[in-house]
Amino acid sequence: MTHIPVLRDESINGLFIKKGDIIVDGTLGGGGHTLEMIKRFGKDIKIIGLDLDIDAKERTLKNINNLDSDFIFVNSGFQDIDKVLKDLNIYKVDGILLDLGISSFQLEVASRGFSFLKDEPLLMTMRKELTEDDLTAKEIVNTWEEENIADIIYGFGEERYSRKIAKHIVESRKEKEIETTFDLVKIIDEAVGRNYKGMRIHPATRTFQALRIATNSELSNLEQVIEKGINCLKSGGHMSVISFHSLEDRIVKKAFVKLKEEGLAKLLNKKPIIPDGDEVMRNPRSRSSKLRLLEKI
């Protein structure tokens, strides 16, 4: 399947890449942004691609197979960017690109329960090979207290009916373990489906977003990568961050403003860059995306 990178040109142009640069693609995903950078610069730059999903390596290598490139894949989350670079004996880089959206592959191919439109095991973890320590959405809905479930659905999903949904989840699991995405969709629909009649979004949208964020510690990891990333950038280096919902954008905006106030960076755009109408038509998933750009002083 074809993965369409969001705000591809705007995010890459915002890195001001030049010959000899080292760039970190912290969210390799389908490899779309990395492929475009290699097409433009070839072996003149080094790209370090990070992803918790080991399959991202194969997808990217397949795309860049016939191109000259200096590409390194590391099976890691971007929150460990400092450790990854230290292990590679690289201490400063010229650019960091983060596309915070879930990839088309994870939604449509990975069978890990990210989409409420497909009946899959309720995992929602970015990591393909799970250990017993890895949290899953199934564990959350089947073992967490009702109040905690409601809190994450409200806090991470901004779902106004979070209490009602959490109550139905806890009542349902007494009868039968919640194992699949469709099990959960049915519970949500019974709880609040009528409240979403005539609305543009599916009743499960916000709850699935919240569970995915909680399962992968996405917001705390985002805070970490910006804090660590600024230390990993050379003076004059750039950071491009594409977010897809208000919680992410709020964190990016707040962190960037803080770095500016501390005299560590300057903001390259006061208002986020959003996709134009043509891109939204080509790729409807891009419609909520926002790009913020930063330069380290």
Q: What is the pLDDT of residue 1?
A: 47
pLDDT in tens, 60-98: 999 898 899 999 999 999 999 999 999 999 989 999 999
Q: What is the pLDDT of residue 105?
A: 64
Nearest Cα residue to 285 out of 49, 4, 56: 4
Residue 106 has pLDDT above 80, yes or no: no
- Within 8 A by CB and 6+ apart from 141, the residues are 122, 149, 169, 173, 178, 184, 211
Nearest Cα residue to 73 out of 91, 56, 93: 56
Nearest Cα residue to 27 out of 102, 86, 87: 102
Q: What is the pLDDT of residue 108?
A: 65
How far, in Å, CA of 228 to CA of 268, rounded? 19
Burial 213-224 (b: 16+ CB within 10 A, else e): bbbbebbebbeb
Q: What is the pLDDT of residue 129?
A: 77
Q: What is the pLDDT of residue 30?
A: 84
Residue 240 has pLDDT above 50, yes or no: yes
How far, in Å, CA of 225 to CA of 231, rounded? 10
Q: In the chain, where does the domain assigned CATH 1.10.150.170 lie?
A: 113-216
Q: In the chain, where does the domain assigned CATH 3.40.50.150 lie?
A: 8-105+218-296
CATH 3.40.50.2300 fits 8-105+218-296, yes or no: no
How far, in Å, CA of 141 to CA of 153, rounded? 11
pLDDT in tens, 246-287: 999 999 999 999 999 999 999 999 899 999 999 999 988 889
Mean local confidence (pLDDT), 190-204? 94
The domain at 113-216 falls in which architecture? Orthogonal Bundle (1.10)
How far, in Å, CA of 23 to CA of 58, rounded? 19
- The answer to whether 85 and 231 are in contact (CB under 8 A) is no
Residue 110 has pLDDT above 70, yes or no: no
Mean local confidence (pLDDT), 99-127? 83
Q: Give the single-character DSSP code of 70.
A: E
pLDDT in tens, 29-51: 889 999 999 999 999 999 999 99
Q: What is the pLDDT of residue 109?
A: 61
Residue 102 has pLDDT above 90, yes or no: no
How far, in Å, CA of 210 to CA of 215, rounded? 9
Sheet with 233-243, side-by-side order of all strands:
70-74, 46-50, 22-25, 93-99, 233-243, 290-296, 265-267
